[in-house]
Structure 1
Amino acid sequence: MRPQPGDLLRVDGRASVQFDGGRALTFRVVSVGPEVPHTHWIWLTGYVLNRRGVATAKREIFVQTTGLHRHDGIRTPGRARAARPYAARNDQGDGRAARHGEGVHARADAR
C-alpha cells in the first residue's frame, strides 16, 4: 500500500516491530517521503490520533509499506461550534433583542 496525505492508517507490528503488541497506533498521514525501493520502507509524517480521533502528537515514523493498512473504525471530530456567550436567548443576530432591551446588561461596577 502506498499511503497518501490524509489517509488514516492503523500502524502495528506488521509495519514495524516498534509498533507491535500494545504499541500500535492510529496515524493520520500529513506527508510521505520517498520509498526505499528494495526494502519497501518509507518515512511518514503525521499525527497520532486517540480513540476519539483527536490528534495527540505529531510524529515521523519509518514503516514497511507492505504492513500498512487503512483504518476506518474511528470517527473524526467535527468542527467545533462557535459559542455566543453573551447573546440573549431570543437574539437572532439582527439586533432586535438589543433594541428591545432584552440582551445581557453590563453591571456598572463590573471590571
Structure 2
Amino acid sequence: MTGKMRAGQIIELTTAASVQFMRPIRVRIIRELDWITYDGWVWVDGYELSPTGDARARRELYVRREGVRVVSEPSNPAPTRPIARRPVVRTPLRVG
C-alpha cells in the first residue's frame, strides 16, 4: 500500500502486515493516525469487520504499510436532493 489510508477503505491484514495477524482480518478504516513510528509502519484507527461486513470492534492497529492489502475503496455518497420545505406561516400573538 502506498499513500495514506483514507476513511471508508476496507483493508485486509495478514502476517505480511504484522505477525499478530495469524488469522487474517478485514478492517474499515476510520483514519490513519499521525503517531511517530518506525519507517514503513503506521497506526490506523478502524473497525474490525465480521465475515458479513458488520463492525465487530473498534481497534487501533500497528501495521507494516507494505503488508496492507486494500480490498475496496470508499464509495462516494449518492447525491441528495434538497428537502422540500413547507412555508412558515407566522401569525401575530394576541395579547390581552
Normalising by structure 2, we get a TM-score of 0.66
Which is helix-richer, 1 or 2? 1
Q: In structure 2, the residue corresponding to 1:66 is in which secondary structure?
A: helix
What residue ranges of structure 1 are gaps of 5+ in the alignment? Answer: 73-111
Percent identical residues: 30
Deviations 1:40-75 (A, max 9, x none): 100000100011100011100000111101124xxx
RMSD between aligned alpha carbons? 1.7
| Aligned length in residues | 70
Determine which structure has more spread, i.e. the larger CA radius of gyration. Answer: 1
1:52-106: CA deviation from partner (whole Å, max 9, x where unpaired) = 100011100000111101124xxxxxxxxxxxxxxxxxxxxxxxxxxxxxxxxxx
Distance 1:39 1:15 in 2: 14
Q: Which runs of 4+ in 1 moved over 6 A?
A: none
- 1 CA distance for matches of 2:44 and 2:15? 16
Structure 1 length normalisation: TM-score?
0.57
Match of 2:55 in 1: 55
| Structure in which a larger fraction of residues adopt strand | 2
In structure 2, C-alpha distance between the alignment counterparts of 1:38 and 1:58, rounded to whole Å: 23
Note the C-alpha offset of 1:16: 0.4
Any unmatched runs of 5+ in structure 2?
73-96
Contact 1:35–1:41 (Cα < 8 Å) also in 2: no
Alpha-carbon distance in 2 for matches of 1:59, 1:38: 20
Distance 1:37 1:48 in 2: 22
Q: Distance in 2 between matches of 1:37 and 1:54?
A: 30
